[in-house]
Amino acid sequence: MALVTGGTRGIGAASAEALKQQGYRVAVTYKSNEQSAKEFSERTGIPAFQFDVSNLEHCAQEVKKIAEACGPIEVLVNNAGITRDAMLHRMTAAHWHDVLQTNLTSCFNMCWSVLPAMRERGFGRIINIGSINGQTGQLGQTSYAAAKAGMHGFTLALAREGAARGITVNMIAPGYIETDMVRAVAPEVLAQIRSRIPVGRLGRAEEIGRAVVFLASDEASFITGSTLTINGGQHMF
Ligand code: NDP
């Protein structure tokens, strides 16, 4: 089965639905937005589990519960993420900590919780959702960019550790995708961002979902330690 963190909205929700369409049994997690979780589960039939991915103890407990309820976790999508934007000289230590814990430490927490069973079965797919802003940096996002760039190093190291056990670990680095996170950006800033995207539009969550399905599939079994950049040409390297 496939587990998608932060899967009740945005990119996570689209990824969970795409995986379900491919025949996976799927479960998602969320933090506190009950309304979105309820709507998502009613619409898709995918169960949603509430816990904070920044808390190791909760992750370990809930992963055990999810595996008991839905079956062994073969695919983990580390998607849950937040922004708390501010220029560094105005950023609070609490916001720095929240962003690092939710975007990066969560990857440790979730992988630590699922890896022993994946190693035992000799199969696993871990897909981390990074960001263009972890590749380029962004004003007001020292915390977010550090977390997403950290996720890149985490992906490479864990890919090496998992390779001999049939576990692939890859990252997707989306550009700007139309979700609640991006809808919170001021319209004039968003217009500027759009003007810098060669394809002339924001991405759609479904476009990331399809890449998640690919990286989870047997066709991607020789791909590990990779970053798939999906940004409409905004950042090429
Ligand atoms: P959304 O804000 O639309 O959704 C975030 C999801 O993560 C929600 O389900 C939310 O739960 C969950 N979540 C947040 N914090 C926690 C937590 N501590 N524990 C458990 N769940 C949590 O995000 P997007 O779909 O826009 O982004 C998804 C991922 O993609 C993030 O990692 C983001 O950094 C990355 N990304 C997004 C881009 C974009 O343009 N949108 C661009 C590049 C990367 P709840 O509903 O309860 O709050």
pLDDT 10s per residue in the chain (237 long)? 999 999 999 999 999 999 999 999 999 999 999 999 999 999 999 999 999 999 999 999 999 999 999 999 999 999 999 999 999 999 999 999 999 999 999 999 999 999 999 999 999 999 999 999 999 999 999 999 999 999 999 999 999 999 999 999 999 999 999 999 888 888 998 999 999 999 999 999 999 999 999 999 999 999 999 999 999 999 999
Q: Is residue 237 part of a domain?
A: no
Residue 39 domain-assigned (yes or no)? yes
User: How many helical (H) and strand (E) elements, i.e. helices and strands, does the chain have?
Assistant: 10, 7
Is 144 labeled as catalytic in the residue annotation? yes
What does the pLDDT read at residue 28?
98
Which whole-number Å values give the CA distances from 5 to 27, 107, 119, 137, 156, in the listed order? 9, 10, 20, 24, 20
State the distance from the centre of ligand 1 to the C-alpha of 120, rounded, in angstroms. 30
> For residue 144, which atom of ligand 1 is closest to its CA?
34
Q: How far is CA 202 from the centre of its chain?
A: 18
* Residue 53 belongs to a domain: yes
Residue 5 half-sphere exposure toward CB, CA atoms < 13 A: 32
CATH number of the CATH domain containing 77: 3.40.50.720
Cα(159) to centroid(ligand 1), Å: 23
Report how far ligand 1's centroid is from the alpha carbon of 234 (Å). 21
- What pLDDT score was predicted for residue 224? 99
Task: Please state the atom number of ligand 1 nearest to the C-alpha of residue 5.
Answer: 21
How many C-beta neighbours within 10 Å does residue 151 have? 24
pLDDT reported for residue 181: 87
Q: Do 101 and 153 touch, CB atoms closer than 8 A?
A: no
Count structural domains, the chain.
Answer: 1
Taking the chain, what is the end-to-end CA distance rounded to the nearest angstrom? 34
Pocket test for ligand 1, best of 5, 26, 57, 82 (most atoms within 8 A of CB): 82
Per the domain annotation, does 99 fall within a domain? yes
In a domain, 234, yes or no: no
**Residue 148 within any structural domain of the chain:** yes
pLDDT at residue 156, rounded to an integer: 99
Determine the Cα–Cα distance for residues 50 and 29; give it in Å rounded to an integer: 6
Q: Does some domain include residue 155?
A: yes
Q: Which residues line ligand 1 (CB under 6 A)?
A: 5-6, 8-12, 29-33, 36, 52-54, 79-82, 102, 129, 131-132, 174, 176-177, 179-182
**216, 125 Cβ separation under 8 angstroms:** yes
What's the domain range around 223? 2-229
Q: Is residue 178 part of a domain?
A: yes
